[in-house]
Structures are given as C-alpha cells and as structure tokens.
Amino acid sequence: MRISLLALFFCFIAGITITLSQSTDWLPELTEMWEPVPVYVQPAPFSEPPSDATLLFGDDYLIKWADADKWNYSNGVLTVEPGTGGITTSGSYADLQLYLEWRIPENVDGADQRRGNSGIFLQGLYEVQILDSFNNETYVNGQAGSVYKQYPPLVNASLPPGEWQSYHIIFSAPVFTENGGLARPAYLTVFHNGVLIQNHVEVKGPTIYTGLPQYEPHPYKLPIFIQGSRHEISFRNMWIREL
Ligand code: MG
C-alpha cells in the first residue's frame, strides 16, 4: 500500500513536470511572485560620476544614443516621449558599472505594471525594472528594482513619484562557448537609492514576459536599452564605467 501510494505520488509529480515542460500555452501569471513583499527601507542620497566615467546624458547625448532624438532633452535631463518606444546606446558594452537617476512624474496614473513602467535592459536583454513601487501593488518580481520576472528586490527602497531616484548597477555579461553553450551566466548587483537590493544574482536568461527565460548565444558586447513608457519618465546623470 505504502509503495503504491508513493508510486502514485511520483506519477503525479512527473505528470505536472511533463505538462509544464511540454505546454506552449504559457500564461504570464505563471511566473509572477506576489509574496513575500519586500519591506520598506528609507533611501540614501545620490552619487556623482567618478573621473573615468563616460557620461551618457551630457550635451553630446545624441552621439551616445542611436535614437534618443525622439525623446525630449533639456539641461542633462532626458524625458520619455510616450508612444515612441525605447532608446539604445550607440556603444556596446559587456561588464560594467552603471549609474543613473530616474523620476516618475508626480501625476502618474494607472496601477500595477501600468504605473511608470520602464526599465534598464543591460545588453538590450536583461532588465532591471523601473516602476512606481512606492505605494503600488504588483507581483514582487516585477516591482521597481526587480530583475524582471526573476528576482524581487531584497527590500523596497522606493521614493514617491515626482522624486528623483537612483540605480547603481554592476553587471557581468554572460559568456558563451564556441558551440553556443553557456560558459558563464550573467550576474547583477543593484543599489536602489543607495540600498543594496540585488546581491550578485545569477541572471537566468533574457527578460521575457511569458514563460521561462533561456539563454541564446550573442556577442560579448551589446548596447544598453532603456524601455519606453506611456508616462513621461525622466532620466539624468547616467554614467558608465566599463570593467
Ligand atoms: Mg519594464
């Protein structure tokens, strides 16, 4: 009796595994985590660029970005023009230290993922989420500072909409073998408003909305992408140090 119950249990688990792995009808909800909710931590101030940093939002920003002329630039602040999509750096990067400040407008509307959603895509593929998470419930691996759909932030260090916030990101690019296998995954460390929220997490693959991420071989260096938004999110003081 005990053996047959055990056998039945394993058949049940195997059935679930096969169903999940074979199904092509992924629902985005299947990869959402809602608990535990990261606790709130009072943030710390901003960071100035070190002497060897490359500034990405100076007056020469149109050289640093391939398509940023569709957004609105004024005095070192670049603001999303809603509906125009995201922007991509002219340069390509692998391992890096990246700092930037971002601001969601005070009059932001919407809820859940539709409230100031943007994101920093390292190599155009691996997203650190931007969202108003000051007082806005969503799945926790989709809130501000999450490695989107992979890791919730360790704590919630968000400031209210209308205030400038900062990300300090350390990124190690993935390395692929000549045969296209994965030799080393990507890693991310992120500080949000001076607070450590991602501690050298192993990135599971490119950011996708539906299903599970899976690495595909790509060049060692690729451009950075900032996701467009339906809100007028502003960016400033973005600088980079290649490692
Ligand atoms: Mg996003």
Q: Are 176 and 221 in contact (CB under 8 A)?
A: no
What range defines the domain where residue 168 resides?
A: 28-242
- Count other C-beta atoms under 10 Å from residue 66's C-beta: 14
pLDDT band at 14 (very low <50, low <70, confident <90, very high): very low
The reported pLDDT for the residue numbered 88 is: 98
Compute the average pLDDT of residues 84-110.
Answer: 98
What CA–CA distances, in Å, run from 32 to 86, 212, 221, 238?
24, 11, 30, 30
When pLDDT is cut at 50, 70 and 90, the band that residue 11 belongs to is very low
Beta-carbon neighbours within 5 Å of ion ligand 1? 117, 119, 129, 227
Rounded CA separation 29/48 (Å): 39
Give me the number of domains the chain comprises.
Answer: 1
Average pLDDT on 6-27 reads 53
- Assess if residue 81 is contained within a domain: yes
Domain for residue 100, yes or no? yes
Average pLDDT, the chain: 91
In a domain, 4, yes or no: no
What pTM was estimated for this model as a whole? 0.86
Ligand 1 geometric centre to CA of 26 (Å): 19
Contact 122, 171 (CB under 8 A): yes
Q: How far is the CA of 3 from the centre of ligand 1 (A)?
A: 48
Residue 45 has a pLDDT of 73
Residue 11 lies in a domain: no
The answer to whether position 10 is within a domain reads no
- Per-residue pLDDT of 98-134, as tens digits, reads 999 999 999 999 999 999 999 999 999 999 999 999 9
Q: Using 50, 70 and 90 to split pLDDT, how confident is the model at 25?
A: confident
- Within a domain: residue 174? yes
Residue 21 lies in a domain: no
CATH of the domain at 36: 2.60.120.560
Kindly state whether residue 19 falls inside one of the protein's structural domains.
no
Is the per-residue pLDDT at 18 higher than 80?
no
Q: What angle do CA 235, 129, 76 make, to 5 degrees?
A: 5
How many angstroms is it from 227 CA to the middle of ligand 1?
A: 6
